[in-house]
């Protein structure tokens, strides 16, 4: 990893005066809409030199994707683009779509977020790669084939020659994204635009793909525009960073300037709102209050003024221009008070009020002395693979959950982490369904699920067991008012009408919403507020355990911080336990007490969160933690990564021995042949007792 | 707990939202519907027809079963506004009565098919497993039966007498819902995966309540369109059957019966055909316009959206 970065900076050093590969000036994009003209992008200017990476960051709706789409010339016909986009000194604004097609894929390479929809399912990878080459270059079939194999090998696809005939569905998400990168660099472009290229991927795969992207950049010497909402990815990839807010750049500078010396209160707020996975302390996150403004009729003045803690009267008068400070003309900020911020050396802790941590009502009781709320022992859930329409034959088994064991005590949070497809969600649903499991046992509040016979008995347990979903839009019925939504669990549990009404008011206040807004529909609330409603619904019947299924992953960082703080407060104040499923390890470290790492349907490591993060004992946990991007450029640069090779094996293949052997770095590099034998033949079990840090590995680290 | 909420309550968030609250869905749909001129025309025509069917009998000087033997097959005149038929019945009174009957049959039958289709379609999708498999198999079987013949048989068996029209309505209802149920089932396939449906399930809400509270209301827009266009289908089916003699039995009348009677005297007494014909066309045409307008207004991707 580190070797690649030095190579990168070497390119930059060699060509300091190189003319910019792409130069954007005063780019402005507007769209018509039902409610008026949307000013999606306003006065964006930047230059990127060959070999450099520009990270564009900002919350959803800040105009970062529209900016990149404008550069590619892929905007809707209704959009109006003005300003200038110069690629190698050639103007792109105003080119017809036909002329732009010659530029796209040749001089500009593109990598999109979703590699599944970016590739055509009906053509093989070889045909699609060949098409990209044949359109822009005059090559013979043999040359195309040779170059295709070269490209696939470059992006790390094993057996490149035979894989040319494969179709996109035969590849995993990470492999498809590698193919996209191969297509993007096929014609040696000058600029590569990567729009959230790893958002849909797991951390371990994300690390691999980002690595490939760096290799591709080094090979082509292209300038890269990297659009992402993940500040960790930016810290690891970018040389320069452009922070966007309300369609406009508000801060621009080198990655170190932005991360270590931010000057715009918005940038500071974003950095303060991100949990840091490499730091032990559980200092409170600092949410940025409020929501981004509507892009239809922006009020005069700085668009961030309504949310800014440093706001003054002059902020509301005119929009501040993006300028350098007297000390540093490369670091541009759009804030009237930037000089003052630099002089007084203000950090986000000085600007934003840091919310206090509430003491837990259970702080005096040791964990094991508290009541166990949920005990799961060796839980299994297998799905049959069938074929045939009428007479179904069983052709195989997907072992989605294959031996999950954990305990949750009162007032604690346990996180289930792992790559997608490892069985986290199936575990949750198996618990929520309250049906007797295929194998193993589930006990809620000391009551075995196996013994629940009637609907009534299950309903009683449900009073103590509630769930919060990932998507705040899909989890609230759009046809019901917030009152009806919150009353539903109460009425189901048979509470009286008067009680319900009082409880709804209480709940609204509990999650920080105005009780007077209970008669509104969910679509009148922002994403963060809707998630608060979802949490209020889960808490309505005062459950002992709330299952949180990725509760913050659909939210922007500044909003996410507010929800995380709310969850912490609720736990401290109510003594409720959480079972938390998340893929974002920084959120996990911040919010949870204990962590269970899952791989292929099994819990392979289980322990206190600090122990597991500081001293992971299973090689998989070690790799997972080292793949997580950290929002700190210095740390990212000096980091040794443990790369996992390959993808998650299919859970439908029969397995003998340790399921992790196919990807295990220790098995591959360290173990001697006779030691490997044990891994191949004996399936490791979770060792140790509940009080210990446990793992399922024959040779723990 | 109050201190918790003050600690994390974003005060600005509240203000910011009230200011830029988006237009409510209902108002948006209404605005889009009103902007659609053909749909407005449809509403006006339909309202006039309903008013005519309701108040027509009161303003008509003649009853529909009152025969004026002094004027047989008379053209329109001051006494008989739309003329008379062969037996001397007043055309206006007949047409108003027929329109009312056809409307009643159309609306009730369409309402019935929509309700049955909604309950069956959502249920078989929601319960999954063998319920879904058996349900789909049954619907596919029912779609293949010759419903027209069965309809005709039911009407000839039960269709006579004062309440004969109820038998026809009921028969139209029974044979009309299969196709709709199939469509609604596939719409429910995506709806049943929504997290609010899962949330209700995990809360312990009984299945029947999940279906009536979460699934059917969220199919609302489709059901409305289906109902409106279903009226057209039912009215046409009724007139068709009546025309062939399998529908409404005399002395009661409907647009179909009147068209059948009028078709024999097209050349000698055209008013006998043209009056019920015009009413039928106006009715189905207005409903189709309303249905199209609703579909465009409710469909966010349609082109009837505003231009800014």
Mutate to test the interface with A, among B141, B199, B200, B209 (most CBs of A within 10 A): B199
In a domain, A569, yes or no: yes
How do the residues of chain A divide into helix, strand and coil, expressed in percent and rounded to 5?
40, 20, 40
Mean pLDDT of all residues in chain A?
87
Residues of B in contact with A480 (CB under 8 A): 213
Comparing C-alpha atoms, which of A360, A416, A424 is closest to residue A609? A416
Identify the domain containing residue A406 by its residue range. 367-464+543-609
Residues of A in contact with B5 (CB under 8 A): 509-512
Asked if residue A295 and residue A419 are part of one domain, the reply reads no
3-state secondary structure of B53: helix
Residues of B in contact with A266 (CB under 8 A): none
φ/ψ (deg, to 5) at A193: -105, 120
Tell me: the pLDDT tens digits for B131-180? 999 999 999 999 888 888 888 888 888 867 667 788 889 989 988 899 89
Helices (H), A225-377: 231-237, 255-260, 265-273, 338-343, 348-351
Residue A144 in tokens: 């195309």
Given an 8 Å threshold on Cβ–Cβ distance, is A528 in contact with B13? yes
Asked if residue A388 and residue A337 are part of one domain, the reply reads no
Q: Considering only alpha carbons, which residue of chain A is nearest residue B204?
A: A459
Q: Confirm or reject CATH 1.10.3720.10 for domain B29-298, answering yes or no.
A: yes
What does DSSP assign to residue A646? S
Residue A542 in tokens: 């005062």
**Would you put residue A610 in left (φ > 0), alpha (ψ -120 to 50) or beta?**
alpha
3-state secondary structure of B2: helix
3-state secondary structure of A288: coil
Residues of A in contact with B7 (CB under 8 A): 355-356, 358, 565, 569
Omega of the bond prior to A242 within 30 degrees of 0, cis? no
| Cα distance between residue A380 and residue A405, in whole Å | 10
Residues of B in contact with A470 (CB under 8 A): 195
In a domain, A204, yes or no: yes
Residues of B in contact with A510 (CB under 8 A): 1, 4-5
Q: What CATH code is carried by the domain that includes residue A417?
A: 3.40.50.300
A519 pLDDT tier (thresholds 50, 70, 90): confident
Tell me: the pLDDT tens digits for A148-170? 999 998 888 888 888 888 898 88
Asked if residue A294 and residue A145 are part of one domain, the reply reads no
Quick one: pLDDT at residue B23?
53
Quick one: pLDDT at residue A388?
62
Of A594, A609, A624, the position where a domain reaches its end is A609
Q: Considering only alpha carbons, which residue of chain A is nearest residue B217?
A: A479
Higher pLDDT, A585 or A364: A585
Instruction: Answer yes or no: is pLDDT of B6 > 50.
Output: no
From chain B residues 184-203, the ones with a CB under 8 A of any chain A CB are 194-196, 198-200, 202-203
Residue A353 in tokens: 């009020």
Q: Which residue has the tokens 């830029």?
A: B20
pLDDT mean over B257-268:
85
Instruction: Answer yes or no: is pLDDT of A435 > 70.
Output: yes
Quick one: pLDDT at residue B15?
39
Asked if residue A28 and residue A138 are part of one domain, the reply reads yes
- Contact (Cβ atoms closer than 8 angstroms) between residue A536 and residue A508: yes
Residues contacting residue B1 through CB under 8 Å, at least 6 positions apart = A506, A509, A510, A573
Domain ranges for chain B: 29-298
Residues of B in contact with A455 (CB under 8 A): 204, 206
Q: Apex CA A181: angle with CA A194 and CA A80, to 5°?
A: 35
How far, CA to CA in Å, does B184 sit from each of A477, A595, B124, B189, B231?
18, 43, 10, 9, 18
Residue A219 in tokens: 């090979």
| Cα distance between residue B45 and residue B56, in whole Å | 15
Asked if residue A264 and residue A311 are part of one domain, the reply reads yes
Nearest neighbour of B308 by CB, restricted to A34, A562, A566:
A34
Half-sphere exposure (CA, 13 Å, Cβ side) for A566?
29
Given an 8 Å threshold on Cβ–Cβ distance, is A512 in contact with B5? yes
Tell me: the pLDDT tens digits for A601-624? 899 999 999 899 999 999 999 999
**By the CB < 8 Å criterion, does B1 face chain A?**
yes
Quick one: pLDDT at residue A500?
92
Quick one: pLDDT at residue A392?
66
Given an 8 Å threshold on Cβ–Cβ distance, is A510 in contact with B218? no
Given an 8 Å threshold on Cβ–Cβ distance, is B10 in contact with A512? yes
**By the CB < 8 Å criterion, does B16 face chain A?**
yes
Among the ranges given (A65-69, A433-437, A642-646), the one the predictor scored with the smallest mean pLDDT: A642-646
DSSP A525-582: S-HHHHHHHHHHHHHTT--SEEEEESTTTTS-HHHHHHHHHHHHHHHHHH--EEEEE-
Tell me: the pLDDT tens digits for B178-236? 989 999 999 999 898 889 999 999 999 999 999 999 999 888 888 888 898 898 889 88
In a domain, A646, yes or no: no
Quick one: pLDDT at residue B30?
85
Mutate to test the interface with B, among A471, A474, A561 (most CBs of B within 10 A): A474
Given an 8 Å threshold on Cβ–Cβ distance, is A290 in contact with B13? yes
Instruction: Answer yes or no: is pLDDT of B17 > 80.
Output: no
Residue A398 in tokens: 């997907």
In a domain, A85, yes or no: yes
Asked if residue A151 and residue A76 are part of one domain, the reply reads yes
Residue B14 distance to chain A (closest CA, Å) = 8
| Cα distance between residue B297 and residue B228, in whole Å | 14
Given an 8 Å threshold on Cβ–Cβ distance, is B198 in contact with A469? yes
Of A210, A232, A250, the position where a domain reaches its end is A250
| Cα distance between residue A370 and residue A367, in whole Å | 5
* Strand residues in A432-482 grouped as ranges (E): 439-444, 447-448, 465-468
What does DSSP assign to residue A222? -
φ/ψ (deg, to 5) at B197: -70, -45
pLDDT mean over A182-210:
89
What b/e readout covers A223-258, taking b as 16+ CB neighbours within 10 angstroms?
Answer: bbbbbbbbbbbbbbbbbbbbbbbbbbbbbbbbbebb
pLDDT mean over A386-405:
78
Mutate to test the interface with B, among A30, A31, A32, A34 (most CBs of B within 10 A): A34
Nearest neighbour of A488 by CB, restricted to B12, B17, B205:
B205
Instruction: Answer yes or no: is pLDDT of A576 > 80.
Output: yes
How far, CA to CA in Å, does B172 sit from each of A33, B109, B122, B224, B259?
44, 6, 21, 19, 20
Quick one: pLDDT at residue B12?
36
Given an 8 Å threshold on Cβ–Cβ distance, is A488 in contact with B21? no
- Contact (Cβ atoms closer than 8 angstroms) between residue A244 and residue A67: yes
pLDDT mean over A249-262:
92
Asked if residue A206 and residue A335 are part of one domain, the reply reads no
Asked if residue A156 and residue A51 are part of one domain, the reply reads yes
Quick one: pLDDT at residue A310?
87
Instruction: Answer yes or no: is pLDDT of A525 > 60.
Output: yes
* Strand residues in A125-219 grouped as ranges (E): 191-195
| Cα distance between residue A452 and residue B39, in whole Å | 56
Given an 8 Å threshold on Cβ–Cβ distance, is B2 in contact with A523? no
3-state secondary structure of B265: coil
* Residue A538 CB neighbours (<10 A): 28
Tell me: the pLDDT tens digits for B100-133? 988 999 999 999 999 999 999 999 999 988 899 9
3-state secondary structure of A50: coil
Quick one: pLDDT at residue B60?
85
Q: Which residue has the tokens 């949490």?
A: A535
Tell me: the pLDDT tens digits for B39-64? 999 999 999 999 999 998 898 888 88
Nearest neighbour of B203 by CB, restricted to A492, A509, A528:
A492
Of A250, A276, A300, the position where a domain reaches its end is A250
Number of domains in chain A: 3
| Cα distance between residue B121 and residue B216, in whole Å | 10
Quick one: pLDDT at residue B200?
93
Most confident of A276-290, A331-345, B8-22, B92-106: B92-106
Quick one: pLDDT at residue B25?
64
Q: Apex CA A19: angle with CA A16 and CA A24, to 5°?
A: 120
Comparing C-alpha atoms, which of A666, A662, A664 is closest to residue A649? A662
Instruction: Answer yes or no: is pLDDT of A520 > 60.
Output: yes
Among the ranges given (A355-364, A507-516, B94-103, B133-142), the one the predictor scored with the smallest mean pLDDT: A355-364
In a domain, A112, yes or no: yes
Quick one: pLDDT at residue A172?
81
Given an 8 Å threshold on Cβ–Cβ distance, is A462 in contact with B202? yes
In a domain, A506, yes or no: no
Mutate to test the interface with B, among A477, A486, A507 (most CBs of B within 10 A): A477
Given an 8 Å threshold on Cβ–Cβ distance, is B5 in contact with A36? no
Instruction: Answer yes or no: is pLDDT of B304 > 50.
Output: no
Given an 8 Å threshold on Cβ–Cβ distance, is A467 in contact with B308? no
Instruction: Answer yes or no: is pLDDT of B306 > 90.
Output: no
Residues of B in contact with A569 (CB under 8 A): 4, 7-8
Given an 8 Å threshold on Cβ–Cβ distance, is B14 in contact with A514? yes
Among the ranges given (A367-371, A445-449, A450-454, B18-22), the one the predictor scored with the smallest mean pLDDT: B18-22
Quick one: pLDDT at residue A577?
94
Given an 8 Å threshold on Cβ–Cβ distance, is A289 in contact with B11? yes
* Residue A516 CB neighbours (<10 A): 10
Asked if residue A307 and residue A228 are part of one domain, the reply reads no
Asked if residue A205 and residue A160 are part of one domain, the reply reads yes
What does DSSP assign to residue A668? I
Chain A with chain B: Cβ pairs closer than 8 A: 130
Quick one: pLDDT at residue B207?
92
Asked if residue A294 and residue A219 are part of one domain, the reply reads no
Nearest neighbour of A488 by CB, restricted to B17, B21, B203:
B203
Asked if residue A245 and residue A265 are part of one domain, the reply reads no
| Helix pair A482-492, B195-203: axis angle to 10 deg | 30
Quick one: pLDDT at residue B217?
87
């Amino acid at each position: 990893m580190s070797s690649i970065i030095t190579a990168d900076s070497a390119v930059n050093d060699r060509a300091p005066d190189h003319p910019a590969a792409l130069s954007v000036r005063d780019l402005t994009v507007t769209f018509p809409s039902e409610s008026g003209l949307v000013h999606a992008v306003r006065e964006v200017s930047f230059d990127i030199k060959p070999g450099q990476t520009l990270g564009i960051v900002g919350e959803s709706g800040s105009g970062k994707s529209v900016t990149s789409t404008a550069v590619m010339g892929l905007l809707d016909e209704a959009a109006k683009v003005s300003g200038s986009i110069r690629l190698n000194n050639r103007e792109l604004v105003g080119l017809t779509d036909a002329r732009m097609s010659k530029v796209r894929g040749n001089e500009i390479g593109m990598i999109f977020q979703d590699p599944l929809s970016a590739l055509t399912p009906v053509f093989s990878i070889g045909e699609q790669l060949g098409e990209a080459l044949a359109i822009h270059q005059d090559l013979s079939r043999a040359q195309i084939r040779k170059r295709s194999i070269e490209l696939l090998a470059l992006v790390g696809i094993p057996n490149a020659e035979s894989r040319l005939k494969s179709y996109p569905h035969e590849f995993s998400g990470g492999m498809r994204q590698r193919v996209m990168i191969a297509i993007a660099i096929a014609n040696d472009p000058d600029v590569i635009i990567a729009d959230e290229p790893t958002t849909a991927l797991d951390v371990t795969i994300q690390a691999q793909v980002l690595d490939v992207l760096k290799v591709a950049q080094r090979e082509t010497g292209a300038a890269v525009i990297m659009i992402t909402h993940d500040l960790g990815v930016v810290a690891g990839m970018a040389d320069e960073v452009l922070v966007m807010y309300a369609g406009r750049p508000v801060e621009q500078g080198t990655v170190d300037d932005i991360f270590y010396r931010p000057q715009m209160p918005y940038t500071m707020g974003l950095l303060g709102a991100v949990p840091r996975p490499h730091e032990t302390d559980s200092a409170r996150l600092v949410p940025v209050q409020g929501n981004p403004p509507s892009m239809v009729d922006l009020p005069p003045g700085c668009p961030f003024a309504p949310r800014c803690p440093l706001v003054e009267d002059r902020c509301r008068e005119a929009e501040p221009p993006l300028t350098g400070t007297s000390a540093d003309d490369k670091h541009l900020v759009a804030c009237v008070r930037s000089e003052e911020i630099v002089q007084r050396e203000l950090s986000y802790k000085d600007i934003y009020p840091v919310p206090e941590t509430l003491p837990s009502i259970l702080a005096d009781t040791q964990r094991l002395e508290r009541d166990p709320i949920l005990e799961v022992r060796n839980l299994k859930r297998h799905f049959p693979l069938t074929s045939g329409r009428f007479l179904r034959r069983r052709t195989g088994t997907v072992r989605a959950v294959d031996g999950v064991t954990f305990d949750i005590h009162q007032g604690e949070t346990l996180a289930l982490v792992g790559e997608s497809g490892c069985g986290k969600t199936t575990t949750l649903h198996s618990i929520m369904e309250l049906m007797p499991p295929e194998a193993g046992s589930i006990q809620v509040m000391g009551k075995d699920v196996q013994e629940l016979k009637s609907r009534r008995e299950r309903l009683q347990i449900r009073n103590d067991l509630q769930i919060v979903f990932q998507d705040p839009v899909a989890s609230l019925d759009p046809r019901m008012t917030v009152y009806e939504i919150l009353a539903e669990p109460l009425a189901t549990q048979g509470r009286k009408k008067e009680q319900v009404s009082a409880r709804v008011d209480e709940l609204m206040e509990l999650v920080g919403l105005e009780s007077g807004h209970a008669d509104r529909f969910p679509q009148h609330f922002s994403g963060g507020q809707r998630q608060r409603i979802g949490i209020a619904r889960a808490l309505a019947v005062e459950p002992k355990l709330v299952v949180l299924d990725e509760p913050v992953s659909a939210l922007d960082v500044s909003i996410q911080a507010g929800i995380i703080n709310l969850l912490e407060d609720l736990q401290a104040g109510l003594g409720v336990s959480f079972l938390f499923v998340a893929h974002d390890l920084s959120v996990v470290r911040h919010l949870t007490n204990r962590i269970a790492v899952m791989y292929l349907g099994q819990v392979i490591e289980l322990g206190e969160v600090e122990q597991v993060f500081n001293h992971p004992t299973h090689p998989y946990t070690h790799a997972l933690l080292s793949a997580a991007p950290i929002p700190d450029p210095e740390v990212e640069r000096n980091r040794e990564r443990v790369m996992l090779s390959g993808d998650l094996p299919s859970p439908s293949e029969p397995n003998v021995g340790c399921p992790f052997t196919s990807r295990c770095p220790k098995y591959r590099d360290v173990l001697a042949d006779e030691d490997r034998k044990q891994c191949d033949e004996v399936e490791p079990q979770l060792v140790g007792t509940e009080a210990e840090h446990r793992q399922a590995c024959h040779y723990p680290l | 707990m109050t201190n918790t909420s003050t600690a994390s309550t974003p005060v600005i968030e509240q203000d910011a939202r009230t200011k830029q609250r988006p237009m409510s869905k209902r108002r948006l749909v209404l605005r889009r519907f009103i902007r659609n001129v053909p749909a407005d025309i449809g509403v006006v025509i339909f309202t006039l027809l309903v008013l005519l069917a309701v108040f027509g009998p009161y303003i008509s000087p003649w009853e529909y079963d009152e025969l004026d033997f002094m004027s047989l097959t008379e053209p329109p005149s001051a006494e008989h506004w739309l003329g008379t038929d062969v037996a001397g019945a007043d055309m206006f009174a007949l047409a108003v009565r027929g329109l009312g009957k056809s409307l009643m049959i159309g609306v009730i039958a369409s309402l019935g098919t929509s309700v049955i289709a909604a309950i069956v379609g959502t249920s078989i999708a929601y319960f999954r497993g063998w319920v879904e498999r058996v349900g789909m198999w049954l619907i596919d079987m029912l779609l293949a039966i010759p419903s027209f013949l069965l309809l005709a048989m039911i009407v000839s068996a039960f269709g006579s007498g004062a309440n004969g029209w109820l038998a026809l309505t009921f028969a139209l209802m029974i044979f009309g819902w299969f196709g709709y149920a199939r469509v609604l089932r596939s719409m429910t396939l995506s709806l049943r995966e929504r997290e609010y449906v899962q949330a209700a399930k995990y809360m312990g809400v009984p299945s029947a309540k999940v279906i009536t509270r979460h699934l059917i209301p969220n199919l609302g827009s489709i059901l409305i369109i289906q109902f409106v266009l279903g009226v057209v289908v039912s009215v046409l089916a009724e007139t068709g059957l009546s025309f062939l003699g399998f529908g409404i039995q005399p002395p009661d009348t409907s647009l179909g019966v009147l068209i059948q009677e009028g078709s024999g005297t097209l050349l000698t007494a055209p008013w006998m055909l043209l009056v019920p014909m015009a009413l039928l066309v106006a009715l189905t045409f207005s409903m189709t316009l309303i249905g199209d307008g609703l579909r465009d207004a409710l469909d966010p991707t349609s082109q009837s959206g505003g231009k800014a």
